[in-house]
Structure 1
Amino acid sequence: MTELITSAGQQATHRPDATGETAWIRQPSDVSHLVNSSTQARNNAHIVVAIALGGVFLDAYDLGALAFGMKDVAREFDLTPAAAGMVASAITFGAIIGALIGGYLTDKIGRYRVFMADMFFFVVAALACAFAPNEYVLAGARFVMGLGVGIDLPVAMAFLAEFSRLKGRGNKAASIAMWCPTWYAAISVSYLLVLVLYSVLPESHTDWLWRLILGFGAVPALVIIAIRSRYMSESPVWAANQGDLHGAAAILRSAWGINAQVASDADLRAQPRPRRAGWRNYGALLRGVYLKRTLLATVISIASSFAYNAVAFGLPVIISSFLAQSMLTTILVSLALNLLFAFVGGLLAVRLVPRLGAWRMTVAGYLCQLIALLGLALIGRPQALPEAMAAIAMLALFLFGQGFGPGSHTMTYASLSYPVSLRGVGVGLNQTLMRASSTLSLFLFPLLTAMLDTGVFWVIVLAPLAGLIALLLVRWEPSGYDVDAEDFTDPAR
């Protein structure tokens, strides 16, 4: 085996494929075709996908890690409500800015470089949070952590899309849908960690709880950094779109085991040039066919986030009506609902999307949520055990619908609605708007709940309804469609 350094900056190892046949590359679309039609059973591409999902795991863990520790933080630093809000929201504001920057950089300098730099945000920020001497350092570290979260999602989604084949089991839509069960797994890990630490820490050291939870986020980031040099590589499709056919061929040999070689008669000057990366590409998302796709992806992402945050906020209201509202109860019920329904729904989404498509599954998920929210609104505050059990069943149905439908496929729409040249900015814009609306909704939910009590579910039901209407108006199916080919036959240019 021979080793070389591609122009993308990573090491690649030449491994001929199992058949020994040579795949000749003459133009960037040939690279996309080889990725889309790959049938190699054992290759580093699967490991790259797993590492990218590790980044998603970090995003979810860091966003949810402080959920059960804010009371301890407020007590330790003697925070006013405004200061507590500053600490709690710092990561979200960082994610809003990071998504815009990350989308641009992912398309501009490549997936590999952005992902590798992004991991250091998580390590430094997690350790700074763990040892924060005051609320200002903690808020600043959480903001930096948010930058990492925002930057990571565009690049992670690009890796998942560009290291998976087009059709069949484990296709691009299925790989991207894996972000959802990965997200819920991370949330569940944070709940389990809280539960373990809550049980073993002596009562005199409960102030260590939030520091240990936040600091633990550095561990998976360090693991990813440790294995990156062996398995990670640049996206071959992105490298080819930059005109680096030799680098793309080297990555195909390394990651897929395909004996890809650049043909002697390849002439990039005769080929259509993909769109160059730049800030102006955010405007391209609002032109031609991409306008409808952008509007659809944005509406379903905002609707999904709004409804999920509202139900998560309303959970203690429902539980407190028939169970003693303790920290332990909240942890256990939240963990059970996430694992048994949201996580399982996400796994089914991964399994079924190649066959059913993202559109049908998202519609089905929103219908489940409509039924669940209408049920919760009609039940109101449960007065007896049967009503309380019915409310829990409605919560379970809502979370299952979230995992099965919009929770999984909002990212499918955000990632696979755009070709390689627009994928980073597409996910970046989607996440910026979604995070901004999520921040606003989390601010409004306590006010609405105070005014309406469980009647707030009549308001929340508007979110899945809006998602359904958008899907019925724009019947766009991204699963199984070769959107990357649009870089050379771009209808928006």
Structure 2
Amino acid sequence: MSNHISVEDVPLSRFHRLLTVRSGGGSFVDGYVLSIIGIAMTKVSPALGLDAFWEGLIAASALIGIFFGGFIGGALTDRLGRRVLYFVGPTLFIVCSLAQYWVQSGEMLFALRFLNGVAVGIEYPVATAFLVEFLPKRYRGPCLATLTILWFAGAAAAYLTGEAILNFGGPDAWRLTLASTAVIGALLFLVRLGTPESPRWLMSKGREQEAEAIIKRVYGHDFGLKNLPQQAECQHLSFGSLLHSGYGKRMAFVTIFWTCSVIPVFAVYAFAPRVLEALHLSGNWASYGSIAITLLFVVGCIIATRLVNSLGRRKLLLHSFLWSGLALLLLGLLRDGPSMVILLMFGAYALFIGGAQVLQLVYPNEIFPTEIRAAAVGVGTSMSRVGAAVGTWLVPISLQTIGIGYTMYIAAGITFFGLLVSWLLAPETAARSLEDAASLDAPQPKVSGNLSKRSSW
């Protein structure tokens, strides 16, 4: 029977679920790292004597690190293999997070958070490429989308943990808050022990015997290379050559839509309490409002995960940009409105942007071939973080100079630009094998409601 079954058509197994946890742990740490600074900043600034310039720079430092880590991680993951790079991120998380406990200056904190950002940047290409190359096709979208849910879960955990430590941790509580990431990094390192290499990557390097052994180990002794879909013969081409051969348009789409979907989100997470205060929400409204909005981001991603197959990638992305952009526009228009209206609009943004967020990891892993998949994810990660870093750095300056209203208008404009680019360039990849989705010549499939019934997990 297995002679005729592709590894992309097998049921979801315990191995697949464990691999989702192993890869998703990196997303959880990412959300935690990028959000914990927003909680600690109110205590860090007076302790280290930071001005608005250094506040913005430190908030953006991890994003700057992601820029370099994405390029490095993508290139090395395609060259050295998925498994080798799988443990670099957790190691950096542990070392750099512990070192933050003894930080004495803004410059030192910037450097350590920059290195944590490098670790995050490495995580994106290696963890997602690892996952997508093992998953059955009908579970690919939901499982990859789950990584984004875990990102927001990590962000929510940062807010909850950060508030608890700052309230009960004593005078150096902000140091404990920043160092707390090391605990998650250690758990991630341990849970990844025993993960095998990707057979698709081994095949791309001509290591067929090793690939065969891993397929039998994961799928059963009746499976082998005969059950692995034929991969395109493009390993002789460089990354640049593949972009010129037609993948450049896809790279542009991924980079632009990813950038437009992360700039407002990271700006909100880095300075959520300050943004809410600028919208006249202070005290408990700002504190608990930040937590509520974070949880709504998680809910939005969960809803998008359930729709990623049935609605389709393209339609989900367009709706996400449209409605979240309108919510930001209304935040600018109603900036002097009642507190409950402000929170309602922020909550609507958090819910609707979930579609674009989950597709950040789905699209780039589906529309590029194995030989450049991790590199493409790395480039998309890096380039999107350039905009996110600049946007995050400018938030406190923007709030001081042009005010909250125009800041929200700019965020809405960025979101609507993402909508325009997605409408022009976004392909549909639901219901396609990984090879077909990455092919430039394969026809577009019709997305049926039946797929969603089969893809629930």
Tell me, yes or no, whether TM beats 0.5. Answer: yes
Structure-2 change in CA distance of 1:452 and 1:220 (3 Å): closer
- Structure 1: how far apart are the matches of 2:302 and 2:437? 30
Aligned to 1:37: 9
Q: CA deviation at 1:448?
A: 3.5
Matched, 1:198 2:196: no
Q: CA deviation at 1:186?
A: 0.3
Q: TM-score, normalised by structure 2?
A: 0.87
Q: Trace 1:38-437 onto structure 2 (pairs within 5 A).
A: 38-39=10-11, 41-167=12-138, 171-201=139-169, 205-206=170-171, 208-230=172-194, 232-257=195-220, 259-261=222-224, 273-276=233-236, 280-281=238-239, 283-284=240-241, 286-312=243-269, 313=271, 316-319=274-277, 321-323=279-281, 325-326=282-283, 329-339=285-295, 341-382=296-337, 385=338, 388-403=339-354, 405-437=355-387
- Structure 2: how far apart are the matches of 1:490 and 1:406? 23
- Structure 2: how far apart are the matches of 1:229 and 1:314? 36
For 1:109, the aligned partner's letter is L
Q: CA deviation at 1:142?
A: 1.7
Residues 430-462 of structure 1, C-alpha deviations (whole Å, 9 max, x = no match):
111111111111233334332243133333221
- Structure 2: how far apart are the matches of 1:96 and 1:321? 31
Residues 76-97 of structure 1, C-alpha deviations (whole Å, 9 max, x = no match):
2334555545543332222111
User: RMSD over aligned Cα, in angstroms?
Assistant: 2.8
Residues 149-194 of structure 1, C-alpha deviations (whole Å, 9 max, x = no match):
1111111111221121112xxx212111112211110011011101
Q: For residue 39 of structure 2, give the secondary structure of its aligned residue in structure 1.
A: coil
- Structure 2: how far apart are the matches of 1:455 and 1:154? 35
For 2:429, the aligned partner's letter is P
Q: TM-score, normalised by structure 1?
A: 0.81
- Structure 2: how far apart are the matches of 1:475 and 1:66? 34
Residues 106-134 of structure 1, C-alpha deviations (whole Å, 9 max, x = no match):
11111111112222111111111123344
Rg comparison, structure with higher value: 1
Structure-2 change in CA distance of 1:68 and 1:262 (3 Å): closer
- Structure 2: how far apart are the matches of 1:456 and 1:82? 17
Aligned to 1:13: none
Percent pairwise identity: 25
Q: CA deviation at 1:329?
A: 4.2
Structure 2 alignment gaps of length 5 or more: 442-457
Structure-2 change in CA distance of 1:475 and 1:44 (3 Å): closer
Structure-2 change in CA distance of 1:105 and 1:396 (3 Å): same
Does the 8 Å contact 1:306/1:438 carry over to 2? Answer: yes
Q: For residue 249 of structure 1, give the secondary structure of its aligned residue in structure 2.
A: helix
Q: For residue 67 of structure 1, give the secondary structure of its aligned residue in structure 2.
A: helix
Residues 259-290 of structure 1, C-alpha deviations (whole Å, 9 max, x = no match):
32457xx9x9xx9744158xx41x24632431
Q: CA deviation at 1:99?
A: 0.6
Aligned to 2:395: 445
Q: How many residues align?
A: 438
Structure 1 alignment gaps of length 5 or more: 1-20, 25-32
Q: CA deviation at 1:227?
A: 3.1
- Structure 2: how far apart are the matches of 1:131 and 1:432? 29
Structure-2 change in CA distance of 1:250 and 1:469 (3 Å): same
Q: For residue 355 of structure 1, give the secondary structure of its aligned residue in structure 2.
A: coil
Displacement over 6 Å in runs of 4+: none
